[in-house]
Amino acid sequence: MKVINPVLKMDMPDVDVIKVNDVYYMVSTTMFFTPGAPILRSKDLKNWEIVSYIFEKIEDNDIYELKNGKNAYGACQWATSLAYHKGKFYAAFVCNDMKKTYIFHSDDIEKSYWKRFDIDGIYHDMSFLFFDDKIYLVYGNGDIHITELNDNLTGIRKDGLNKLLFSTPSSDDGIMLRCEGCRAYVKDGYIYLTFIEWPKEGFGNFRRRQICYRSKNLNESFERKVIFDDDMGYCNRGIAQGAFIEADDGKWFSMLFQDHGAVGRIPYLIPMKWENGWPVIGIEGKAPSAFDIDITEVATAPLVISDSFEHEDNCLPLQFQWNHNPIKEGWSFTDRPGYLRLRNMQMASSIMDARNTLTERTVTPKSVFTIEGDFSLMKDGDYAGLAAFMGKYGTIGLTKSDGEFYIVSIHKEKVEIKQNVSEIQGFNCNHFWIRIIFDFENDDKAYFYYSVDGKDFIEFGEPLDMEFTLDVFVGYRIGVFSYGTKNLGGVVDFRNLNFSE
């Protein structure tokens, strides 16, 4: 089987991977999208499918309901540690906005919505460590700490080990981003702690790289080594942060991610081996663009899909997530069979505080999304359509004002282009198509289109210069949205979301 890197061409950062029996399971970061913390499954390390989510929602509060100017952008779930221990699956992550660390557990990793325990405080970018019949969290940024958990992983052991393990090089040593993103392993009597770090300009290659610390004892000093530093020729953006994976027949791999512009942070599968008690990632220190694995390829369900919205119940396909918590009464597949109905139940000022925006990942190098809408039940002030969703967003759709329909494209930078549909021959508000083309290989641009017949599409407005921004901290997604700016109760029905690469 041939693996071509990047192994997944979409936003799938902060991975952790475990192998249970003959199945690999991976968790990734989706932050404020719900349901959250997707679990992916693979039997060959190349093909992955989503099988469950760890949580349905974190809280019902202003932060997660986009109320009173609050939100969880750039926060909520990230850098989850995944483990299998004594027949049970565990996952741990921090929500900075809640100032809490959560440990979730389940007997069945492929069943969504696990039980959870809350721990006060932020154990940043932690990793489970199972060593000498004790259970720990190793965490931190620069200063790496360890704390012991109780035997059933419900909280911190009051009389357990809790200390600073070591401090990693800082700005005085030429490091811009100190070590974080821990993953902990025990092999051949050694504890291995692997992190990313980012040297400053003029130090090293001025890009993210993978570091490893090792020791045979938690009370002894740790040795340090740079174990991977490569960008596979892409813009000096280092491939780093992720997991070590022990496969069959003593073979090892590493799954690391790379900042890849507007599409997000995408994972690479890289061969790995052990030499002189150290992990060695890559082939001659490089990430291969392609390599062969002696594993039988097993097909999986796609991670990005088209969807007719013809569903017998209100169960969201696993490929989709809402932006923050949805209003359950505000969406339905069954109110009008064959359609996704969005009902405006909370006022919004823009796509960023609109409830019930349905999202799906994009794919590099190019993603095309098209949808048909029935906008006939909109109220004055409503706006509905498709979004290139990110902090620096762009939208296209229809709005209604004084009983008249307008096609509108809005960019975050206050760019708004509006046209009365009376000027568009053949317009029918019951059947109107819109399209966004995401072009990640030609300067990260998004293009907006409409059609009155579903066949001929007309470009509308200005292209969006897409940019990965840290305020939201996710790759661009398609968003299907409807919100009211003056009234509640407006309805839009969407059908036939079509995706192509």
Per-residue confidence (pLDDT) for residue 413, from 0 to 100 = 85
pLDDT in tens, 74-114: 999 999 999 999 999 999 999 999 999 999 999 999 999 99
Select the more confidently predicted residue: 422 or 499: 499
Mean pLDDT of 300-307: 98
Catalytic residue among 11, 14, 307, 353: 14
- Sorting pLDDT into bands at 50, 70 and 90, what band is 136? very high
Mean pLDDT of 370-378: 98
Percent of the chain with pLDDT over 90: 98
Q: Is the pLDDT reported for residue 415 higher than 90?
A: no
Architecture of domain 2-292: 5 Propeller (2.115)
Q: What angle do CA 93, 97, 100 make, to 5 degrees?
A: 45
Q: Is the pLDDT reported for residue 235 higher than 90?
A: yes
Q: Which residues of 171-209 are buried (b: 16+ CB within 10 A; e: fewer)?
A: eeeebeebbbbbbbbeeeeebbbbbbbbbeeeebeebbb
- Quick check: 102 and 92 in contact, CB under 8 A? yes
- Sorting pLDDT into bands at 50, 70 and 90, what band is 249? confident
Q: Is the pLDDT reported for residue 135 higher than 90?
A: yes
Mean pLDDT of 415-419: 91
Going by C-alpha positions, the residue among 479, 353, 416 that lies closest to residue 68 is 353
Domain ranges of the chain: 2-292, 321-500
Mean pLDDT of 346-361: 98
Q: Quick check: do 2-292 and 321-500 share a fold?
A: no
Going by C-alpha positions, the residue among 186, 248, 212 that lies closest to residue 19 is 248
Mean pLDDT of 287-313: 97
Q: 221: which 2 tokens?
A: 């000093």
Q: Is the pLDDT reported for residue 266 higher than 90?
A: yes
Percent of the chain with pLDDT over 70: 100
Q: Which residues of 45-61 are buried (b: 16+ CB within 10 A; e: fewer)?
A: bbbbbbbbbbbebbeee
- Quick check: 397 and 388 in contact, CB under 8 A? no
Per-residue confidence (pLDDT) for residue 414, from 0 to 100 = 81
Going by C-alpha positions, the residue among 495, 93, 491, 43 that lies closest to residue 307 is 495
Catalytic residue among 180, 307, 439, 493: 180
Per-residue confidence (pLDDT) for residue 43, from 0 to 100 = 97
CA distance 409 to 107: 47
Three-state SS for 127?
strand
Q: In what order do the strands lie in the sheet with 127-131?
A: 127-131, 134-139, 143-149, 162-167
CA distances from 15 to 11, 49, 74, 150, 245 (A): 11, 14, 17, 25, 11
Mean pLDDT of 384-402: 98
Q: Is the pLDDT reported for residue 490 higher than 90?
A: yes
Q: Is the pLDDT reported for residue 423 higher than 90?
A: no
**Three-class DSSP labels, 373-399:** EECCCCCCCEEEEEEEECCCCEEEEEE
Omega before residue 365 within 30° of 0, cis: yes
Is 148 known to be catalytic?
no
Per-residue confidence (pLDDT) for residue 248, from 0 to 100 = 87
Is 310 known to be catalytic?
no
Residue 147: partners with Cβ closer than 8 Å, 6 or more residues away: 123, 136, 137, 139, 156, 160, 161, 162
- Token pair 């005085």 is at which residue? 172
Q: Does domain 321-500 have CATH number 2.60.120.620?
A: no
Per-residue confidence (pLDDT) for residue 213, from 0 to 100 = 98
pLDDT in tens, 185-234: 999 999 999 999 999 999 999 999 999 999 999 999 999 999 999 999 99
Q: Is the pLDDT reported for residue 437 higher than 90?
A: yes
